[in-house]
Amino acid sequence: MSKSPFEVPGEMRDLASRSVEQARRAFETFIGAAQKASDSVSMDNHPLRNMAEVSKMTVAYAERNMNAAFDMAEKLVQARTVEEAVRIQTEFMQAQAKTLRDQMTEAGQTMKLQFEQASAQVREQVDAAVQEGAAAQKTMQKAVDDMNTAAKPVPAKPVKPRATKKTD
């Protein structure tokens, strides 16, 4: 392969390198805030409490992917020829395709597990509520029966007529 006559001047590479570093620092500030927000999610007794784990995983993926992109950008701005830049970009794209495939597989498995656990917890809560409802219905029925028993008229004792004095 013949060498390209095009070469990126060193000053342009330095300027681009500083820009990449600034962007990386800004992203690190952003991802730090996202991690804090993800860590603060607390849904202790909520069926979807495990989704906080998925949120943390998503933030971690974003951080890894962006760091890989910044690493590639740093290499790219140091490229001296178009061919070198194309090689760096190609290697990055191949590595990212594998990384994304692996991340999606892991995320799919994790989310499936999380939803299965949430479903089981919801099922348990529904079963408990049904049992509580049945117990409440029995209690109500007993109260109604007791009220009906209390409301029945008590038969009166027959009263004998009084004997009256006859006057002649």
- pLDDT tens across 84-112, in order? 999 999 999 999 999 999 999 999 998 88
Q: What is the pLDDT of residues 104-134, one digit of tens each?
A: 999 999 888 888 888 888 899 899 898 988 8
pLDDT at 1 over 60: no
Per-residue model confidence (pLDDT) at position 47: 56
> Under a CB-based contact definition with an 8 Å cutoff, are residues 27 and 66 in contact?
yes
> How many other C-beta atoms lie within 10 A of the C-beta of residue 25?
11
Q: List Cβ neighbours of 59 (8 Å cut-off, separation of 6 or more).
A: 31, 34, 35, 38
Virtual torsion, Cα 36, 38, 40, 45, nearest 10 deg: -170
Per-residue model confidence (pLDDT) at position 121: 84
